[in-house]
A and B are shown apart, each in its own frame.
Chain A
Amino acid sequence: MDLALSIFFQVLVDGIVLGFMYALIALGYTMVYGVLEFINFAHSEIFVIGAFVGVEILLGFEASGSLAMLHPAFVLLVVLFAGMVISGLAAMALERVAYRPLRGAPRLVPLISAIGASFFLQDFIRLVESLWRNSFYLSYPTLPSLEKSLKIGSAVEVPIKSVLVIATALVMLLALHLFVNRTRVGIAIRAVAQDPETASLMGIPVDRIIALTFFVGGAMGGVAGVLFGLHYSLINPYSGFVPGLKAFTAAVLGGIGNIPGAVLGGIVLGLVEAFAASYLSILTNGAFGAEYKDVFAFAILILILIFRPKGLLGEKVREEGV
């Protein structure tokens, strides 16, 4: 039991970090679902694009020798901003090429196109990195100032990396909250989510609002990608699949289409996963271990969909009669 107690705080921090990461990715799923009632299956690759943009910029800084000279805060801002913008633009391009021509088609048609886009993008990233670096398994260069830990009290240490993830995620979530609730464009997004036809009658350019929603969701995913790279270091073109599926689970858990729900779902899922990974082996005397953490996430998804498909906070999207 001593071991269980001594790792408790560590696990809690890991779970919260994971949870905020899922929350940021889940926002992309949930916002797009809000306006289009459609699962953007390729969102996990938008997240990976963010991670790769981050590593490319950091490796560029490193190669030019300026990584050590520049202020770490500046480097982080540049990397996060670039990941955000490029992922957002990639999501917009994806919508334009693979989804917009299919608007109005039966439900499964855009979903299949999105699955195709997901697979295509995975190998496209692989192709680009193979031609450019002759390898597609990349690792983030270490930033010395991120390798330290904050000491709270005598026993508890929180790595700076975790603080960075949590702080960035909180800033992004606050910004999104203000954007969606306080700006005219944000109101337009919510109007389209409620009823696209009426919104268009009110003079809202629905197509542009949908593109913008993809940009905002993609930008959140891009930030999550950079944070993922900074925190876990190793990335490859296929690293998005599992986090993407879990973030989707988080979105469903919180109630898909519901922005606060996505955040809540992400954090709940992150905590469940972290605790399952660490405590399962202690509780079962080593019979089952951390390798079952994915099973937990998917089991939660299946159970939620069966017993409470509206999610924890309920569904805010419209019910379509057709």
Chain B
Amino acid sequence: MKKGERMKRWFVHIGLIGYIGLTCALVFYFPQSVLAFLLFEASLLLIYYAALPRTTKLFFAAVALVLLMPLLGIVNGYYLEVAIQVGIFVALALGLNIVVGFVGLLNLGFVAFYAIGAYLWAIFGSAHANEFLPGAHFPLAPSWFFVFLFLSVLVGALTGVLLGLPVLRLRGDYLAIVTLGFAEVVRALVNNLDKPINLTNGPKGISPIRRPPLFFQPILELLGLKLDAAVLYPLYFYFLVLLMVLLVILVARRLEGSPVGRAWKAIREDEIAAAVMGIPVVRMKLLAFAVGASFAAAIGVLFAAKQVFINPESFTFMESIGVLAMVILGGMGSIPGAILGATAVTILNLQLLKGLSLWLNTLRQSGIILALPLLGSFDLSQIPAQFEPAKYERMVFGLILILMMIFRPQGILPPRRSEVKSDGAA
């Protein structure tokens, strides 16, 4: 019995190592193949489901994320970009998951907090602040980036509370519409506050925004590593995003098991009963709003620094719904679910739909004429040029939302229930 178990575990190990090694080799030899990279990405899912002890799984995931992913990113820089985007959306989805999943408050304006964080660093991390502040102190030195990361957490929490205070007494569906209205107001302000005082530079956006400092460059040089800035910065942002995702996961997990997290879930299940049991409902809701908002704002700072250029277009209602779709797909209230949902949706948008668009384009230019039985012939160059799957993100989000609600409202990886152990407190 014990021997059989050990054998099985060896098989799982060898299988995992073999799969990861194989997909890595595929990406190395076919750097342009979307499929190879997708197979590699699937290895993380495999690790998650593998019948192994947690520490082993963590070790495998660490090898894949810290060692292999950056190496593949050097082979094809686009993959690193995809990984960074995935990380940003994972962090956003985890933030929204606290508000929507843990507490059951439908926040349709989540992107507003993201925008607030992004503009916070964009304004002071570029020369733009000189437009409305006397003197020429801006852009701030790159190391201020880290200060602003902390500052954005505070500003995010503050705006979350300011919005939450008046609206959290509203019923669920009204709250959804009000948060949506709030996000539209923020976007309208960002779009129009280039006059009378030029705070945001309006639709033209702000650039160039400073990137965080390369404080580790001397160490790399000591080690004899000389990397070009074009390679170094994506790697740097990749690790920053990875660090942030880990931090967010940690905070979300700690909160989930804490008395606060239990209070949140009690409110979600039955608000009146929770209030009767002595849970300060409004204060708890405010806390959730503040935590979610501060996550989003901090990620916004990172996003602005990564993009170097931001404008209001990045913060539309569609982004809010996209993040919502990620949370719903994975499973409301489930941390692994939010991660899976964000990864799946981002990869679908960035890789599968774009790949399909490119494929259709090559078909159009191929000049092939299909002869279909019964239907006659069809000239492939006749596929309308307006038809580009990559532009149909809304349809994807919409379908995810409807289908999940009808067929699997608990999501792909629903939260495990009753995992809270009583601590044996007498």
The chain A residues found within 8 Å of chain B, CB to CB, are 38-39, 98, 101-102, 105, 107-113, 115-124, 126-127, 130-131, 134-136, 241, 245, 248-249, 252, 287-288, 291-292, 294-295, 298-299, 301-302, 305-306, 309
Q: A108 to B178, Cβ gap below 8 A?
A: no
Q: Kindly list the 5 A-B residue pairs having the minimum CB-CB distance in the complex, ordered from nearest.
A: A116-B401, A120-B398, A119-B398, A123-B395, A130-B386
**Which of B182, B192, B321, B384 is the one whose CB lies under 8 Å from A115?**
B321
Q: B392 to A298, Cβ gap below 8 A?
A: no
Q: B402 to A111, Cβ gap below 8 A?
A: no
**Which of B317, B395, B402, B409 is the one whose CB lies under 8 Å from A98?**
B402
Closest Cβ of chain B to A141, distance in Å, is: 21
How many angstroms between the C-alpha atoms of A117 and B401 in the bound complex?
A: 8
Q: Which residues of chain B have C-beta atoms less than 8 A from A38's C-beta?
A: 173
Q: B170 to A105, Cβ gap below 8 A?
A: no
Q: Which residues of chain A have C-beta atoms less than 8 A from B191's C-beta?
A: 291
Q: B394 to A248, Cβ gap below 8 A?
A: no
B41-62: CB near A (< 8 Å → 1, else 0) gives 0000000000000000000000
Question: Which of chain A's residues has its CB closest to B174's CB?
Answer: A305
Q: Which residues of chain A have C-beta atoms less than 8 A from B173's C-beta?
A: 38-39, 107-108, 111
**Which of B167, B386, B392, B409 is the one whose CB lies under 8 Å from A134?**
B386
Q: B387 to A131, Cβ gap below 8 A?
A: yes
Is B20 in contact with chain A by the CB < 8 A criterion? no
**Which of B188, B325, B398 is the one whose CB lies under 8 Å from A121?**
B398
Q: B177 to A134, Cβ gap below 8 A?
A: no
Q: Which residues of chain B have C-beta atoms less than 8 A from A120's C-beta?
A: 394-395, 398-399, 402
Q: Which residues of chain B have C-beta atoms less than 8 A from A105's C-beta?
A: 405, 409
Is B205 in contact with chain A by the CB < 8 A criterion? no
How many angstroms between the C-alpha atoms of A288 and B195 in the bound complex?
A: 8
How many angstroms between the C-alpha atoms of A126 and B405 in the bound complex?
A: 24
Q: B167 to A302, Cβ gap below 8 A?
A: yes
Closest Cβ of chain A to B168, distance in Å, is: 11
Q: List 16 A-B contacts (CB under 8 A).
A: A112-B324, A112-B401, A113-B402, A113-B405, A115-B324, A118-B398, A119-B318, A121-B398, A131-B384, A134-B384, A245-B177, A295-B188, A302-B181, A305-B177, A305-B178, A309-B170
Q: A294 to B184, Cβ gap below 8 A?
A: yes
Q: Which residues of chain A have C-beta atoms less than 8 A from B172's C-beta?
A: 107-108, 111
A102 with B192: in contact, given A121-B398, A135-B386 (CB under 8 Å)? Answer: no
Q: A127 to B392, Cβ gap below 8 A?
A: yes
A112 with B405: in contact, given A119-B394, A119-B398, A120-B394 (CB under 8 Å)? Answer: yes
The chain B residues found within 8 Å of chain A, CB to CB, are 104, 106, 108, 166-167, 170-174, 176-178, 180-182, 184-185, 188-189, 191-192, 195-196, 317-318, 321, 324-325, 328, 384-387, 391-395, 397-402, 405-406, 409
Q: Which residues of chain B have C-beta atoms less than 8 A from A302's C-beta?
A: 166-167, 178, 181-182
Q: Which residues of chain A have C-beta atoms less than 8 A from B394's C-beta?
A: 119-120, 122-123
Question: Which of chain A's residues has its CB closest to B393's CB?
Answer: A123
Q: Which residues of chain A have C-beta atoms less than 8 A from B400's C-beta?
A: 116
How many angstroms between the C-alpha atoms of A249 and B172 in the bound complex?
A: 16
Q: B185 to A299, Cβ gap below 8 A?
A: yes
Q: A127 to B395, Cβ gap below 8 A?
A: yes
Q: A119 to B188, Cβ gap below 8 A?
A: no
Given contacts A108-B176, A123-B393, A130-B386, 10 further A-B contacts (CB under 8 A): A112-B328, A115-B108, A120-B402, A124-B395, A127-B395, A134-B385, A135-B386, A245-B181, A295-B189, A305-B174
How many angstroms between the C-alpha atoms of A117 and B177 in the bound complex?
A: 16
How many angstroms between the C-alpha atoms of A39 and B174 in the bound complex?
A: 9
Q: Which residues of chain B have C-beta atoms less than 8 A from A252's C-beta?
A: 174, 177
Q: Which residues of chain A have C-beta atoms less than 8 A from B328's C-beta?
A: 112
Q: Which residues of chain B have C-beta atoms less than 8 A from A122's C-beta?
A: 394-395, 398
A108 with B170: in contact, given A113-B406, A136-B386 (CB under 8 Å)? Answer: no
Closest Cβ of chain A to B270, distance in Å, is: 10
Closest Cβ of chain A to B321, distance in Å, is: 6
A113 with B182: in contact, given A119-B394, A123-B392, A123-B394 (CB under 8 Å)? Answer: no
Q: Which residues of chain A have C-beta atoms less than 8 A from B324's C-beta?
A: 112, 115
Q: Which residues of chain A have C-beta atoms less than 8 A from B166's C-beta?
A: 302, 306
Q: A101 to B386, Cβ gap below 8 A?
A: no
**Which of A39, A101, A123, A291 is the one whose CB lies under 8 Å from B188?**
A291
Q: Which residues of chain B have C-beta atoms less than 8 A from A130's C-beta?
A: 384, 386-387
